[in-house]
Amino acid sequence: MKKIFLTVIALLTVASMQAFGSYGVSDWITFLTDGNRFEAKLDQLGFTLGNDTIKGTFGFHNDGRGSFGDMLIRDTGDYYNFRPTISMGIGYTSSLIGIGVGYNATIGNRWDRYNNKTEPKKVEAVVHTPVLVLNALDNAFRMAIPIQVLHLTDKLDTFSGSLTAVSLNAQFRYYSGLDVLPQVRLYLKYGNYSYNLKAGDTTDKGKVAESFGFDLRFYFGSMVEEVSLQPIVKLAYNGALGKYHSQRNVTALGVLDDAATSMATYSSTYGGTATWGQNAWDLQLMTGLGLTANSDIVSLYLEPELGLQIVQVGHISEKVKEVYGLGWNVYAEIYITPIKNLEWYFEAEIGDALKTTQSANSLVFNGTTGVTWYLPAL
């Protein structure tokens, strides 16, 4: 009990010092298995601290908003918009079961909220993301379920309205311990962006956008001399639900800026036309090969992917044919450890941008770098 009490005191001390955490909305799957560390990267800055029983985190993550770690973006007025995600969490770990709860607050742009007053007040649009993390079977089974919620409201005399976005990006992993099939992953995604307007006795409700998706991955394993080989098979799908829009992957984070802008006019261009004649969707069947090599100082991970990619962009009124193409992607990580417990990290990815954009033919490059300092247990 004394050890647990000292751990809690240490975690509260870290929070009071405004230390930074490093878990974005979709990164909590590793929280219960990560060791103590301080990370300073282009897109995140933070601590994870604890012992074999209790651990915690607190801080910032960029979550893809802005570039190269931008935290403050000046708007058209005299205000600065604070863009990163603030994260905090606490967890309990044991060999039998581990459970953790987390929370992310992602602050969007400011907007004018009247609330039945003559002069508006500048308020921030915020996505709230509670997270449940669970590990079992000596960490062989892991899951993380973040639920993103955005809800904006305003009133103007006889007129009122609200915009609501709810999205799920749940992740499940199972580590079998077998050499042939060491790991299986499943991602489940759902997003809903809706509005509710009332003018006098007239009410207008509807959906701006709605989508469902999944990503199923099988990891196989083998060794060739000192290089670890991990073939990967991935089946991924993203699609619009109903006949509402052309957006295939709706998230509350993705509509955050649109919602803040739309509250001024109660109109949105995010989903396009209210009724979409043909649903938009995409499908990927990819095969990849993970290669891992280690030395005393340098560790390298390389993952090239190649496969079939089908994109249906949808149309307002007409039927259009799907676009078939070759999907490809190359992802790499390099770890350099010049001294014990201090590590330089570099991550880069280049390939088809289907995962992050709605374009059928586009190329994207992502990269980040930083330092990780592994800390002793409390």
Tracing tokens 């897109």 back to the chain, one arrives at 43
Longest dimension (CA), the chain: 75
Average pLDDT for residues 3-29, to the nearest whole number? 52
**24: its two tokens:** 């974005």
Interval 30-66: pLDDT, tens = 999 999 999 988 888 889 999 989 999 998 888 877 5
pLDDT at 20 over 70: no
Beta bridge partners of 102: 89, 131
The one-letter amino acid code at 256 reads L
pLDDT at 18 over 50: no
Tracing tokens 């992740």 back to the chain, one arrives at 171
User: What distance in Å separates the CA atoms of residue 170 and residue 258, rounded to the nearest whole number?
Assistant: 24
The 3-state secondary structure of the chain reads CHHHHHHHHHHHHHHHCCCCCCCCCCCHHHCCCCCCEEEEECCEEEEEEECCCEEEEEEEECCCCCCCCCCEEECCCCCEEECCEEEEEEEECCCCEEEEEEEEEEEEEEEEECCCCCCCEEEEEEEEEEEEEEEECCCCEEEEEEEEEEEEEEEECCEEEEEEEEEEEEEEEEECCCCCCCEEEEEEEEEEEEEEEEECCEEEEEEEEEEEEEEEEEECCEEECCEEEEEEEEEEEEEECCCCCCCCCCCCCCCHHHHHHHCCCCCCCCCCCCCCCECCEEEEEEEEEEEEEECCCEEEEEEEEEEEEEEECCECCCCCCCEEEEEEEEEEEEEEEEECCEEEEEEEEEEECCCCCCCCCCEEEEEEEEEEEECCCC
Q: CB neighbours of 143 closer than 8 A, spacing ≥ 6?
A: 29, 133, 134, 135, 170, 171, 172, 173
Interval 241-264: pLDDT, tens = 876 677 899 999 999 988 888 876
Is the backbone of residue 223 left (phi > 0), alpha (psi -120 to 50) or beta?
beta
Interval 87-103: pLDDT, tens = 999 999 998 999 999 99
In order of 14, 38, 100, 276, 377, the CA distances from 19 in angstroms are 6, 9, 19, 47, 17
CA 233 and chain centroid, separation? 22
pLDDT at 6 over 60: no
Domain boundaries, the chain: 2-374
pTM recorded for the entire structure:
0.86
Residue-level pLDDT at 286: 94
Average pLDDT taken over every residue of the chain: 84
| Rg of the chain taking only CA atoms, in angstroms | 23
Interval 130-154: pLDDT, tens = 999 999 999 999 999 999 999 999 9
pLDDT at 2 over 70: no
Kindly report the number of other CB atoms within 10 A of residue 88's CB atom: 17
User: What distance in Å separates the CA atoms of residue 297 and residue 171, rounded to the nearest whole number?
Assistant: 32
> What pairing do the DSSP bridges indicate for beta strands 44-50 and 54-61?
antiparallel
| CATH architecture, domain 2-374 | Beta Barrel (2.40)
